């Protein structure tokens, strides 16, 4: 009986170690480059902006004070930042307003099971300085191409630090044509009559399937 107990004990120890190791691996952020997609990197949309500043420094305690909006996103779900390139929905069929309720635009209407919900948070997101005529830059690791981009900008007077973003707060300023598959796509946009803090909201309709991305870039019009 005692010999049987000694024979079983190491086996259960190994199993316990395997379970513990698997649990530790689950805590490590991973980015699946094989299925990577993309987003607007300039002016940087919220998830990419956080990743750009904190991706190599995410354990820095200063994030809470220096960048509270990225900090709350990190606390809500680290993969908001680590998987910045996956904020999309499939099969929307162009009915974007039905798919994205007011107050949920920056998360793609709760895309990917709510992974990006923290991007809808109202507050002082870090901004990129731009002029009224500016250039959008998409980085797409998978080179999907685009059926079109639609670029909206908040109306003058909208306060992004106090108000949730709704469709009525936006003005459509640019709709592009098609773009061939490429990792880098740039196009020009004009948003006259604006100054100060705004949100640039971009819909990127990828061309490989009915897959649409929803990207909020916080900007400061100089």
**Tell me: the pLDDT tens digits for 95-135?**
999 999 999 999 999 999 999 999 999 999 999 999 999 99
Q: What is the mean pLDDT of residues 80-91?
A: 95
Residue 62 has pLDDT above 70, yes or no: yes
Q: Which of 33, 35, 55, 34 is nearest to 44 (CA)?
A: 55
What pLDDT score does 96 carry?
97
Phi and psi dihedrals of 118, rounded to 5?
-65, -15
Q: How many CA atoms lie within 13 A of 162 on its CB side?
A: 3
19 vs 72, residue with greater confidence:
72
Gap between the Cα atoms of 171 and 169, Å rounded: 7
- In total, how many domains does the chain have? 1
DSSP, residue by residue, 124-143: ----EEE-SEEEEEEEETT-
For residue 6, tell me if it sits in a domain: no
Binning the chain into helix, strand and coil, the percentages to the nearest 5 are 30, 30, 40
Residue 2 has pLDDT above 80, yes or no: no
Percent of the chain with pLDDT over 90: 81
For residue 8, tell me if it sits in a domain: no
Residue-wise pLDDT tens digits, 157-212: 999 999 999 999 999 999 999 999 999 999 999 999 999 999 999 999 999 999 99
What CATH number does residue 82 fall under?
A: 2.70.50.50
Residue 13 has pLDDT above 60, yes or no: no
Q: Which helix (H) or strand (E) holds 218?
A: strand 211-221
- Domain range enclosing 81: 36-221
pTM given for the model: 0.84
For residue 9, tell me if it sits in a domain: no
Q: Which helix (H) or strand (E) holds 112?
A: helix 111-114
For residue 18, tell me if it sits in a domain: no
For residue 20, tell me if it sits in a domain: no
Gap between the Cα atoms of 60 and 18, Å rounded: 30
Q: Which of 83, 82, 213, 84 is nearest to 144 (CA)?
A: 213
**CA atoms 94, 96, 97, 101: torsion sign:** positive
Residue 1 has pLDDT above 70, yes or no: no
For residue 22, tell me if it sits in a domain: no
For residue 127, tell me if it sits in a domain: yes
Helix, strand, or coil (residue 79)? helix
What pLDDT score does 22 carry?
37
What pLDDT score does 207 carry?
92
For residue 12, tell me if it sits in a domain: no
What pLDDT score does 221 carry?
98
In whole angstroms, how large is the CA radius of gyration of the chain?
21
Q: Which of 14, 221, 12 is nearest to 132 (CA)?
A: 221
How would residue 59 be classed by pLDDT, with cut points 50, 70 and 90?
Answer: confident
Q: What is the mean pLDDT of residues 80-103?
A: 96
How would residue 8 be classed by pLDDT, with cut points 50, 70 and 90?
Answer: very low
How would residue 35 be classed by pLDDT, with cut points 50, 70 and 90?
Answer: low
What pLDDT score does 58 carry?
86
């Amino acid at each position: 009986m005692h010999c049987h107990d000694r024979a079983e004990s190491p086996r259960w120890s190994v199993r316990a170690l395997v379970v513990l190791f698997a649990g530790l691996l689950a805590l490590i952020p991973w980015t699946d480059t094989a299925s990577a997609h993309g987003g607007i990197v300039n002016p940087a949309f919220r998830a990419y902006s956080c990743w750009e500043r904190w991706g190599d420094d995410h354990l820095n305690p200063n994030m809470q004070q220096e960048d509270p909006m990225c900090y709350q996103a990190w606390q809500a779900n680290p993969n908001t930042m680590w998987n910045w390139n996956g904020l999309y929905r499939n099969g929307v069929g162009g009915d974007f307003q039905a798919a994205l309720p007011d107050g949920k635009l920056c998360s793609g209407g709760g895309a990917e099971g709510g992974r990006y919900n923290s991007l809808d948070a109202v507050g002082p997101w870090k901004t990129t300085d731009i002029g009224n005529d500016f250039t959008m830059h998409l980085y797409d690791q998978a080179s999907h191409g685009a059926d079109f981009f639609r670029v909206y900008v908040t109306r003058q007077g909208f306060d992004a630090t106090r108000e949730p973003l709704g469709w009525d707060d936006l003005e459509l300023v640019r709709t592009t044509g098609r773009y061939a598959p490429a990792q880098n796509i740039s196009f020009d946009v004009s948003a006259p009559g604006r100054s100060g803090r705004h949100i640039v909201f971009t819909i990127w309709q990828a061309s490989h399937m009915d897959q649409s991305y929803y990207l909020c870039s916080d900007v400061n019009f100089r």
